[in-house]
Chains A and B, each alone.
Chain A
Amino acid sequence: MKRILSGILLIVLGLALAVFSIRFVPGIEAEPAYLGIPRFLIALFLFSAGLAQLARATLPVERPAGVGRYFVLTLLGLVFIFPVFWMFTTSLKPADADLGRVMPQDIRLENYPDAMTYAHGAEDPEFEGAWAPGAFFRTPFFQQLVNTLTVGLLGTVGVVISSSLAAYAFARLEWPGRDFFFVLTVATMMVPFAVLVVPLYGLFRQLGWIGTLRPLWAPACFGTGFSIFLLRQFFKGIPNDLTDAARIDGCSEFGIYWKVVMPLAKPALAAVALFHFLYVWNDFFAPLVFLTETETFTLALGLHQFQGAHGGTPWTLMMTAATLMTLPILIIFFFTQRVFVRGVTMSGLKS
Chain B
Amino acid sequence: MTLREKIECKNGLLFAAPWIIGFSAFIAYPIIAAVYYSFCDYSVLSPPEWVGLYNYTELFRTEWARRAIVRTFLFSFIALPLSLVFSLCVALLLERRTLGVGLYRTVFFLPALVPQVVVAALLLWIFAAGGVVNTGLAWVGLPTLPWLSRSMILITIMLMLIWGAGHQMIIYLAGLQDVPEELYESAQLDGANYFQRVLHVSVPMISPVILFNLVMGIIVSLGQFTIPFFIQASDRPMELADGANFIATEINRQAIQNLRMGYASAFSSVLLVAVILLTAIVLKVSQRVVHYRGE
Contact = CB atoms under 8 A, between A and B. Distances in A.
Given A166-B15, A307-B234, 4 more contacts: A83-B111, A98-B130, A202-B33, A348-B171
A51 B170 contact: no
Contact of A69 (B29, B93, B118): B93
A64 B97 contact: yes
B98 A70 contact: yes
A54 B20 CA distance: 56
19 contacts: A55-B97, A63-B96, A72-B93, A83-B111, A169-B11, A175-B8, A196-B34, A198-B30, A222-B19, A278-B113, A289-B252, A300-B115, A300-B116, A304-B233, A322-B118, A326-B115, A329-B115, A348-B171, A348-B175
A165 B251 contact: no
A34 to B, nearest CB: 8
Interface of A: 26-27, 33, 36-37, 51, 54-55, 58-59, 61, 63-65, 69-70, 72-73, 76-77, 80-81, 83-84, 86-87, 90, 98-102, 161-163, 165-166, 168-170, 173-176, 178, 181, 184-185, 188-203, 205, 219, 221-223, 225, 228, 253, 257, 278, 281-282, 284-285, 288-289, 300, 303-304, 306-313, 315, 318-319, 322, 325-326, 329-330, 333, 337, 341, 344-345, 347-349, 351
B9 to A, nearest CB: 5
A300 B23 contact: no
Contacts, number: 317
Interface residues of B, number: 99
Question: At the interface, is chain A mostly helix, strand, loop or mixed?
Answer: helix
Contact of B12 (A174, A303, A322): A174
Contact of A199 (B37, B116, B122): B37
Contacts of B88: none
Given A69-B93, A222-B21, A189 B219 contact: yes
Interface string B235-279: 100000000000110011001100001001101110110011001
A287 to B, nearest CB: 10
B16 A345 contact: no
Contacts of A59: 97, 99
B29 A203 contact: yes
Contact of A282 (B15, B21, B116, B271): B116
Given A185-B23, A307-B234, A348 B97 contact: no
Interface stretch (B58-66, B149-157, B220-228): B220-228
B171 A170 contact: no
B81 interface: no
B77 interface: no
Interface in B127-168: 128, 130-132, 134-136, 139-141, 163, 167
B265 A192 contact: no
A77 B98 contact: no
Contact of B97 (A63, A168, A192, A284): A63
Given A181-B16, A222-B19, A289 B268 contact: no
B52 interface: no
A111 to B, nearest CB: 14
Contact of A194 (B15, B44, B117, B247): B247
B198 interface: no
B125 interface: yes
Nearest to A210: B44
Given A197-B251, A198-B264, A313-B235, A80 B111 contact: yes
A311 B115 contact: no
